[in-house]
Structure 1
Amino acid sequence: MMQLTEAEYRKRFDGYIITDCAVLKRGHYYFVSRNLAEAERAGPTAEAMVTKRLSWYIPDNPEDSRIRHMRFEGYQTLDICANPSEGRMLCVSIDGLVTVTGGDGEDEDEDEIPKSITGPRRGTIERLRTIDDCMVAVGSDHTVCLRKGSNQWQSLCLNLPVPTLADFDDVERSDNMAFVDIDGFSENDIYVIAGKGRVWHFDGTKWSRIAFPSDMDVYSICCAGDGYVYIGAQSGSLFRGRGNEWTLLVREMLTLPFEDIVWHAGKVWLTSDYGLWNVIDGQLVEADLPSSDIKVCAGNLSVADGVMLMAGTHGAAVHDGSAWQLIFHRMQFAR
């Protein structure tokens, strides 16, 4: 049984496709979506012409106020991430524009994340993550920065190589300096990934390049509760390791790479638009789902406060550690 009514779906999601999701805390779920018709007209080079929405769903609120949204016009790609230390959700554009909300109607546009060769932002912002209740952002030109409070960003670029003119003029070299994901076991044990097998580790003082055993393109990373780091690479390849010791668990078995990898309910979970998987005994297996209505919600994952939110092209669902609950399935509202 779905949680959203058809009227709620029509008002908040009809004509839009979810591109990101995040859990602020149990019962507080957030989604970024983009307008489908505008996206088709704009094409791949005019993303700023596509209207975005940040929607939040709080199922325990009264039905007339449990789901709301705010619009973003003139914005490029948007990412969202929970910042537990502030109890609010951050929405950050690829060019460093920041909006903060708590789902209470008190939304605030902050200053752009400062850009300079020493950081906190050297280039674009590509990914947000929460590590030890702190929010970090990564992006191009070896950008790594830590949020310290409202309009306060600390550079973690430190000893990471500064891009040169030759780097800017070479697409592959530029891609190898563009961090696409980050995760950590603590603030002093962080991993970031970029390009063709570029993996770096932060020990609380400095960054060190990891001897990663592949030049595959890498896309997603998870520092899991089993003590291992999992890295999703091209075509659904999956590596597991830590430090300079790595094992290839899965080699190129899918068309798409994994969009998100998370640790939840004692398992590693991996997703793309094509489905949801677990790692069990070193093997990648399809997740045991109660229905196809849940499976079609694959695409993005977010974990916080003991729950995992999954959302994608066709809908959204939440796992409370033992069971799934469907939030909505857009095909059931098809006209």
Structure 2
Amino acid sequence: MNDDKSMMQLTEAEYRKRFDGYIITDCAVLKRGHYYFVSRNLAEAERAGPTAEAMVTKRLSWYIPDNPEDSRIRHMRFEGYQTLDICANPSEGRMLCVSIDGLVTVTGGDGEDEDEDEIPKSITGPRRGTIERLRTIDDCMVAVGSDHTVCLRKGSNQWQSLCLNLPVPTLADFDDVERSDNMAFVDIDGFSENDIYVIAGKGRVWHFDGTKWSRIAFPSDMDVYSICCAGDGYVYIGAQSGSLFRGRGNEWTLLVREMLTLPFEDIVWHAGKVWLTSDYGLWNVIDGQLVEADLPSSDIKVCAGNLSVADGVMLMAGTHGAAVHDGSAWQLIFHRMQFAR
């Protein structure tokens, strides 16, 4: 192991202080060398069960390997949060943490940690319902969620509604689980601010042209989970059981049909490739085929679960650890079993 790789990895003391007893649920890159992780307390999760997630403490940890060893990794606690999503906002140089209810905390960069106002909720937006996903498009941060929520961050405590002509939910929609799910956006991505795709429910895909939203003629009623507007000019949509669609506009092809137990959690474009991950592994799309990613070791493979790309690097983190790809090679940050007692 060379010195660079040794410097990248957490020490056992760092791991014990920040991650022992917690499991990673999300990750994000602020910029090269600035890596962020969301984790949840395992013991509290077991006691709380599936219906009391707000009782489970969440942590936001940030890791800056070039800092002095005593300050390379820090964390802050979030209590009473059912969910905690994170996303870099390059236009501000900050990391945003947003709850399902629209509570906002800003951290990272050169500024102080700050709790902002809740994202305003109204039938016209910016927030119609819950917040389910954050993404960066054209160096700007967007949030999507239930009831056809789409909003764009314009600055501190400033959110612009992009709900526009998206249908407003009716009482009948609220009373029907499938109809509600079909209006609950779960992911968003775009080639630019004027070329955005968003997905929900059973094959619901919408496109934004900078002025209005149009429903896409998507050729499936499979549940959809993840989306990527890739550097090859295609849009990739991850559906149930690892199914994968590729297309743009109203033309789509099913590349992969239901070959996995889990859907893809994240799909990203990095180093000239499409990368897809779930808790079960990491894949690329090569010549229209889904191919297991070529990884240097099992230590890297077990870090699968979530992906984030920024500033030429890709961060991967999950149940068992974290690793980063710098465009040409992988470096391990930590592997949980390294520190097993």
Count of matched residue positions in the alignment of Structure 1 and Structure 2:
335
Q: What is the distance in 1 between the residues matched to 2:17 and 2:83?
A: 22
Q: What is the distance in 1 between the residues matched to 2:235 and 2:79?
A: 37
TM-score w.r.t. the length of structure 2 is: 0.97
Q: What is the distance in 2 between the residues matched to 1:119 and 1:17?
A: 33
Q: CA deviation at 1:106?
A: 1.9
Asked if 1:317 corresponds to 2:328, the answer is no
Q: What is the distance in 2 between the residues matched to 1:190 and 1:105?
A: 30
Q: Percent identity?
A: 100
| Conserved 8 A contact 2:8-2:65 | no
Deviation per residue, 1:85-133 (Å, 9 max, x gap): 0000000000000000016682100000000000000000000000000
Deviation per residue, 1:32-55 (Å, 9 max, x gap): 000000000000110110000000
CA RMSD, 1 decimal:
0.9
Q: CA deviation at 1:76?
A: 1.1
Q: What is the distance in 1 between the residues matched to 2:86 and 2:282?
A: 21
| Conserved 8 A contact 1:28-1:56 | yes
Q: CA deviation at 1:216?
A: 0.1
| Conserved 8 A contact 1:271-1:301 | yes
Q: What is the distance in 1 between the residues matched to 2:111 and 2:212?
A: 40
| Conserved 8 A contact 1:275-1:299 | yes
Say which of 27, 38, 47 aligns to 2:53: 47
Deviation per residue, 1:193-224 (Å, 9 max, x gap): 00000000000000000000000000000000
Matches within 5 A, 1:249-268: 249-268=255-274
Matched residue of 2:245: which SS? strand
What is the aligned partner in structure 1 of residue 246 from structure 2? 240
Q: What is the distance in 2 between the residues matched to 1:24 and 1:308?
A: 11
Q: What is the distance in 2 between the residues matched to 1:265 and 1:182?
A: 21
Q: CA deviation at 1:332?
A: 1.1
| Conserved 8 A contact 2:225-2:238 | yes
Deviation per residue, 1:172-192 (Å, 9 max, x gap): 000000000000000000000
Q: What is the distance in 1 between the residues matched to 2:338 and 2:68?
A: 23
| Conserved 8 A contact 1:120-1:145 | yes
| Conserved 8 A contact 2:196-2:208 | yes
Say which of 209, 213, 219 aligns to 2:219: 213
Matched residue of 1:40: which SS? helix
TM-score w.r.t. the length of structure 1 is: 0.99
Structure 2 residue runs without a partner (length 5+)? 1-6
